[in-house]
């Protein structure tokens, strides 16, 4: 690993992996098109659990129609279209992760067999319902990223988990 990874906020992950300077990275299907353009030979695997099993960071996006919407019928028609097979095919063509796991084998796997693992991750993934989910899990300076960094570079996994839990709880308490 380059020494810069200890302080990298994640902005260089795909670049370093694509150039061969990093052998493994935790990115999702959003990186497929980047890696394909760079002609990277790569595989996909779930996040391995400590005592077996696996985990996924999938999910978190949603489509909602506000109660006071002035064009509810058009919004409902868009939601119906956005989640139907035609739209999912358009998304698959653009290397966007599947949102309907029932279409993974039909649409995605024929385009790239690695999407099978992404589909399995989507089926398994759970996103916490919280107004601070992004700050806790997706922020490159948030508790999740800091926990991973501390665990990897100090070896103190339990300490990293405890610190992340405390920081995440503080963010949750501040949001209430």
State pLDDT tens for residues 24-78: 887 777 787 788 888 989 998 888 877 888 877 766 567 888 899 999 999 999 9
Q: Does residue 96 lie within any of the structural domains?
A: yes
Radius of gyration of the chain, Cα coordinates, nearest whole angstrom? 19
Highest-confidence segment of 20-29, 122-131, 134-143, 148-157:
148-157
The residue with tokens 């200890």 is 6
The pLDDT of residue 111 is 86
Q: Does residue 138 lie within any of the structural domains?
A: yes
- My answer on whether 77 and 117 are in the same domain is yes
Task: Tally Cβ neighbours within 10 Å of residue 70.
Answer: 7
- In terms of pLDDT, which residue wins out, 163 or 25? 163
- My answer on whether 81 and 102 are in the same domain is yes
Instruction: Quote the CA–CA distance of 37 and 1 in Å, as a whole number.
Output: 23
Q: Does residue 47 lie within any of the structural domains?
A: no
Show the domain range for 13: 1-42
**Number of structural domains found in the chain:** 3
Q: Which two tokens stand for residue 44?
A: 């996909």
- My answer on whether 118 and 91 are in the same domain is yes
Answer whether 0.75 is exceeded by the pTM. Answer: no
Cβ–Cβ < 8 Å for 153, 136: no
Q: Does residue 52 lie within any of the structural domains?
A: no
Query: Across all residues in the chain, what is the average pLDDT?
Result: 84
Q: Does residue 136 lie within any of the structural domains?
A: yes
């Amino acid at each position: 690993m380059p020494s810069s990874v200890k302080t990298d906020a994640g902005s260089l992950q795909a670049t370093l992996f694509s150039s061969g300077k990093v052998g493994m990275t935790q990115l999702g299907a959003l990186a497929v098109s980047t890696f394909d353009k760079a002609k990277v030979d790569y595989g996909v695997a779930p996040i391995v659990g400590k005592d077996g099993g696996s985990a996924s960071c999938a999910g978190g996006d949603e489509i909602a129609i506000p109660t006071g919407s002035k064009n509810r019928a058009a919004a409902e028609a868009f939601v119906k279209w956005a989640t139907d097979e035609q739209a999912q095919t358009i998304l698959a063509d653009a290397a966007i992760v599947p949102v309907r796991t029932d279409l993974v084998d039909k649409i995605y796997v024929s385009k790239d067999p690695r999407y099978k693992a992404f589909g399995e991750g989507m089926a398994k993934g759970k996103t916490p319902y919280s107004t601070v989910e992004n700050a806790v899990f997706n922020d490159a300076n948030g508790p999740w990223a800091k926990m991973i960094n501390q665990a990897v570079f100090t070896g103190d996994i339990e300490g990293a988990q405890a610190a992340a839990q405390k920081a995440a709880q503080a963010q949750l308490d501040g949001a209430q």
